[in-house]
Amino acid sequence: MTQTGVDHPFPDHLFLVGCGNMAGQMLSRWLDCGLDRERVTVLRPSGRPVTDGVAVMTDYPAALPAGTTVLLGMKPYQIADVAVALAPLCVADTRIVSILAGTTLADLRARFPVARDIVRAMPNLPVGLGEGVTALFTDDVTSAQAKMDVAALIEPLGLVEWIADEALFNQVTALSGCGPAFLFRFVDALAQAGEAIGIPADQAARMALATVQGSANMAARANDGPGVLADRVASPGGMTREGLNALDADDRLLTLLIDTLAAARDRGEAMARGA
């Protein structure tokens, strides 16, 4: 599963089933990192072009090239139809990486019995910038080599975290998969709060975003955790301490975030039950 002469070990062939918001971001980053376009095929019903040099099909090929890694990137409810067409094309060395939320490894194994190596992945949107978070899970049936190869494929997308217990996938999805939307909301609220205390709206918006961006970069480079960093910039009796006191009162920020993640997790569990 390697292409020679590139920085990252990409599969001999990558077959994307669906290439919408998420799979499109992943592919874009892989292409930026040197994935050879001629080794990529995208299947999407619309047939919309992806980018120059990447083949787009509206129906399944007669066979998959040797050493193909399939990325399942359509909506989870489409798995039944996709599996009927795709499973007969899978051979023993076909690897499957699924980003389908709520579709368990057992379900994937039942639908693709010939493929030995199957990995669940839960990326988030900044993967397109190489600054995403992707949680991975697999079982002992998947070979050690495949685990390494899939991790190497995902590494150009940002942080890679193997999850030991598949039951935690909804929790992980709530944190990092849904996290960008929660952060977007936070930045917007910070800007609105700035406006509420008198800062012009456009300035508040720019300042809120740059403050979050700079602080996140700073926290990523710091030796101490963000909790320590917050206290370090808050001198007793100063403005920051007063602000933190409001944020921390009755653990209200923490409580709000626990409620937020729990709501997202619960929805994931309900969707897995077909609700």
Please report how close the Cβ of residue 177 comes to ligand NAP at its closest, in angstroms: 5
Structure tokens at 194: 């700035």
Closest CA to 32 of 123, 127, 120: 127
Closest CA to 216 of 101, 137, 129: 129
Please report how close the Cβ of residue 27 comes to ligand NAP at its closest, in angstroms: 11
User: CB-wise, 174 or 191, nearer to ligand NAP?
Assistant: 174
Of 11, 18, 128, 268, the one binding ligand NAP by CB under 6 A:
18
User: CB-wise, 98 or 142, nearer to ligand NAP?
Assistant: 98
Angle between helices 179-196 and 201-221 (to 10 degrees): 130
For position 125 contacting ligand NAP by CB under 6 A, the verdict is: yes
Bridge partners of residue 119, in order along the sequence: 97
For position 151 contacting ligand NAP by CB under 6 A, the verdict is: no
- Return the ∠ at Cα 191 (arms to 186 and 193), rounded to 5°: 90
Of 17, 27, 136, 154, the one binding ligand NAP by CB under 6 A:
17
Bridge partners of residue 70, in order along the sequence: 15, 96
User: CB-wise, 78 or 143, nearer to ligand NAP?
Assistant: 78
What residues numbered 57-76 form the site for ligand NAP, per CB under 6 A? 73-76
Please classify residue 199 by burial: count the beta carbons closer than 10 Å to its beta carbon, then call 0-12 exposed, 13-18 middle and 19+ buried: middle
| Alpha-helical regions (H) of the chain | 21-32, 79-86, 105-111, 144-154, 169-172, 179-196, 201-221, 226-232, 239-248, 252-272
Closest CA to 30 of 67, 71, 72, 74: 71
User: CB-wise, 45 or 130, nearer to ligand NAP?
Assistant: 45
Of 38, 81, 202, 251, the one binding ligand NAP by CB under 6 A:
81
Please report how close the Cβ of residue 49 comes to ligand NAP at its closest, in angstroms: 10
User: CB-wise, 86 or 191, nearer to ligand NAP?
Assistant: 86
Phi, psi of 131 (to 5 degrees): -125, 30
User: CB-wise, 122 or 204, nearer to ligand NAP?
Assistant: 122
For position 217 contacting ligand NAP by CB under 6 A, the verdict is: no
Of 1, 14, 22, 160, the one binding ligand NAP by CB under 6 A:
22
Chain residues that interact with ligand NAP, rule: CB under 6 A: 17-23, 43-46, 48, 73-76, 78, 81-82, 99-101, 122-125, 177
